[in-house]
Structure 1
Amino acid sequence: MGPLGVCLVICAAVTAATWIASVATREYSWVDRIWSIVPVAYVWVFAGWSGFDARLVLMAVLVTLWGIRLTFNYARKGGYRPGGEDYRWAVLRGRMAPWQYQLFNLFFISIYQNALILLFCLPAYTAYEAAGTPLGVWDVVLAVVFLAFLAGETVADQQQWAFHRWKAAERAAGRTPEPGFLQTGLFRTSRHPNFFFEQAQWWAFYGFAVAATGVWLHWTIAGAVLLTLLFIGSTIFTESISRAKYPDYDAYRARTSAIVPWFPRPQATAGERTA
């Protein structure tokens, strides 16, 4: 069958399982729950099938570290507990007729997202086809860059976790937390630094396909491209909720980069805003 065939079988099985689980439980975050687990399996399939080619083992180890970190962060937020559904799905259900949402659940949440997970792992397939090519300087550079992005996402998620724990403590004490959303640390330079670092890791992962072949463009770049498009859509949707909830969110948007970390823009004075 080959490693790609094995991964396609795994993808089909996981797609069916997550869709059935969502219909049975009426919770729609089952793909979120396997998001950090299945990629580890995919990349190790390619590594094992290659006879543990050095580059593919390196790629698999990096994805394993990514998966451990993301699984831990998702677990501590309660994502694996009953009722741990992403709050955005409830908002979206309120904007759709029930039959529309069920079609959305089948085709986008279950089928498309599972296909996307496999796609962004497929630079491992390109590296598998070039197995035996020795590791080089670019592999080392890419590994360091991947780990740097992994560290950045860890910091961003920790800052967000600490902020939400502070908000919960404020509410438990009978106070209204102010500000209502995180604007400090990495979130001073990007409204979604965790989104940036997550995408950046998979672009670095694609780089191993280039390092393995010496060719810049492979069809397996599709996964990184589609993941970026998914995050753009997720950012727009998430911010539509935040803007409705927090009156001062637009001012934050005006001074802060959307995804790529950058220097905050100076705030306009009252005279400039009314000019």
Structure 2
Amino acid sequence: MALPTLHALEDCADWSKTVEPFLPQLYALPEKLVHAIANRESLLKLYVETNPLVSGFAISVFLGAVFLVIAEVNRNYSQVDRCWSLLPTLYIGHFTAWARLAGVPSQRVDAALLFSSVWSTRLTFNYWRKGGYNVGSEDYRWELIRQRVPKFVFHVFNWTFISFIQSILLFLLAAPAYSLLLSTEFESELTAADLAYVAVELGLILTEWFADQKQWDFHAAKKQFQESGKVAPGYTQAEVQQGFVSSGLWAYSRHPNFAAEQSIWFFLYQWSCYATKSLYSWTAVGPSFLVLLFQGSTWLTEAITAGKYPGYRDYQSKVGMFVPKTFSPYKPSVAGPKVIRTSELAKKFEQKKQK
């Protein structure tokens, strides 16, 4: 039996009824997999007969091992980063595929897959245009950590957090889809509330897109000014010399894109709670850990930024990290950075060319 026998909608969020009974399948799965391959039995049959939460978790552990080996061989620790925008959607797709093969209604999971596919497409594109898929590219923060801790400590960090824990986290972000799948036994058709959750998710993805696009445009304008001394339309010289974006959504939140990212997975969890008529469930583990992860990574990012740009401390004091402190947009407390005359900057570039 691959799915639990449940008697009420609320049971779909109960760990003791939906997860614990299938833990023995997890322990037995490696042996069954080897046996199926050795005897040329149907892997598809094994897939359908295995609880989808168990098989999804097993895949995340296996991928963690793959990430570990590739990272250590190449001494590049952004292997999970390259798959970050894809794996949650692939896991939700796994629940959808399993439901179809098992003949279980999947409308709610299909709806989750819809918004998740849009999320993956947008985030993958943004990561690609930043050069994330270039050969040898790596998140600069991993190098910073490597420089500050003993070598063996960083390897332990990779063996645990970077490779395995992050891989499992990406599965746990999709785990609420398991509760959605179970709920279809009692409510197989999409409701107005389900469509509302999808609309909210798409709205959050759109917010994330606007925030990332604003940041992209700003850094393009800053690069143009640094290379040619010309200020791009829509910006002032003081803004580009400031060094960091602080207008648009960024005037109200220091990381509106991160805020939207965390909200996307929190709302998937909330959707699963609504679908199972539960105030909370074990599937909160994924989005909760994601919030903690963003707290740590954002603190490190901001520490680096504050060290590069003098005005960032003022920005931090007035604008919330994720949630706005006020409805008023950010305005610097003091005059912007010293303005360099464009003619002087152009003269410097001419001198460099002559050399």
TM-score bin (small chain): over 0.9
Q: Distance in 2 between matches of 1:164 and 1:97?
A: 34
Partner residue in 2 for 1:33: 82
State the 4+ residue runs in structure 1 displaced beyond 4 angstroms: 174-177, 264-270
Q: Distance in 2 between matches of 1:156 and 1:267?
A: 18
Deviations 1:168-193, CA, capped at 9 Å, x for gaps: 22233378950111111111110000
Partner residue in 1 for 2:93: 44
5+ residue gaps, structure 2: 1-49, 231-236, 335-355
How far did residue 19 of structure 1 move?
1.2
- In structure 2, do the counterparts of structure 1 residues 85 and 130 end up closer, same or farther at CA, with 3 Å as the change threshold? same
| 1:63 and 2:112 aligned | no
Partner residue in 1 for 2:155: 102
Partner residue in 1 for 2:298: 235
TM-score by length of 2: 0.72
Partner residue in 1 for 2:270: 207
Structure of larger gyration radius = 2
How far did residue 5 of structure 1 move?
2.3
Q: Distance in 1 between matches of 2:218 and 2:151?
A: 34
1:1-275 equivalences in 2 (<5 Å): 1-51=50-100, 53-132=106-185, 133=187, 134-173=189-228, 177-261=240-324, 262-264=326-328
RMSD over aligned CA atoms reads 2.0
Query: Is the 8 Å Cα contact of residues 11 and 118 (structure 1) preserved in structure 2?
Result: yes
5+ residue gaps, structure 1: 271-275
- In structure 2, do the counterparts of structure 1 residues 268 and 259 end up closer, same or farther at CA, with 3 Å as the change threshold? same
How far did residue 263 of structure 1 move?
2.4
Q: Distance in 1 between matches of 2:166 and 2:245?
A: 28
TM-score by length of 1: 0.92
Matched residue SS, 2:241: coil
Matched AA of 1:106: W
71-80 or 36-45, which deviates more: 36-45
Matched AA of 2:277: G
* Percent of residue pairs identical: 37
Deviations 1:135-178, CA, capped at 9 Å, x for gaps: 22221211111111000000011111111222222233378950
Q: Distance in 2 between matches of 1:171 and 1:266?
A: 24
How far did residue 264 of structure 1 move?
4.2
Aligned positions, number: 270
